[in-house]
């Protein structure tokens, strides 16, 4: 029985060292967002504080843009037929409304992506 406990203890110690040495946790979630003239689909996404999420952006028509200093999203151009990935790890819960950052026509002022960050 003592031998079994020793083996179990060594296994637990080895596992804890393995996970500690594995480094940062990669993005676990990916969300696709499609920009078009004058909307984002989906128009609302939900993220969690402290959890990395990759937002894959593309456009079905026109060139658009997205940027949010609050969420750590750099100025990003969204082009038709191409995916651009941005990884976000929100630091603070709340509702963030991000407007298209590239003038895209008559509906541009109302083109927004809402990001709900949950605790």
Question: Which CATH code is given to the segment(s) 26-118?
Answer: 2.60.40.420
Alpha carbon distance 46, 15 (integer Å): 33
Distances (CA, A) of 15 to 3, 94, 113: 18, 36, 41
- Least confident range from 7-21, 59-73, 91-105: namely 7-21
Percentage of the chain lying above the pLDDT 70 cut: 76
Give 13-54 pLDDT, tens digit per residue.
Answer: 344 444 444 444 444 689 999 999 999 999 999 999 999 999
Q: Provide the mean pLDDT of the chain.
A: 84
> Does residue 72 surpass a pLDDT of 60?
yes
Q: Which of 22-26, 72-76, 103-107 has the lowest mean pLDDT?
A: 22-26
- Per the rule left: phi > 0, alpha: psi between -120 and 50, beta: everything else, 21 is alpha
- Residues 52, 28: Cα–Cα separation, whole Å: 7
The β-bridge relationship of strands 29-36 and 53-59 is parallel
Q: How far is CA 52 from the centre of its chain?
A: 6
Q: 26-35, 69-78, 98-107: lowest mean pLDDT where?
A: 26-35
User: Helix or strand or coil: residue 110?
Assistant: helix
């Amino acid at each position: 029985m003592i031998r079994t406990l020793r083996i179990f203890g060594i296994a637990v110690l080895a596992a804890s060292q393995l996970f500690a040495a594995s480094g940062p946790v990669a993005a676990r979630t990916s969300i696709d967002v499609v920009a078009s003239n004058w909307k984002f689909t989906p128009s609302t996404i939900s993220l969690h504080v402290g959890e990395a999420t990759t937002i894959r952006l593309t456009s079905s028509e026109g060139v658009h843009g997205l940027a949010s200093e609050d969420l750590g999203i750099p100025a990003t151009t969204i082009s038709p037929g191409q995916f651009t990935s941005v990884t976000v790890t929100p630091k603070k819960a709340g509702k963030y409304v991000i407007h298209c950052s590239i003038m895209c026509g008559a509906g541009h002022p109302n083109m927004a992506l809402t990001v709900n960050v949950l605790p």
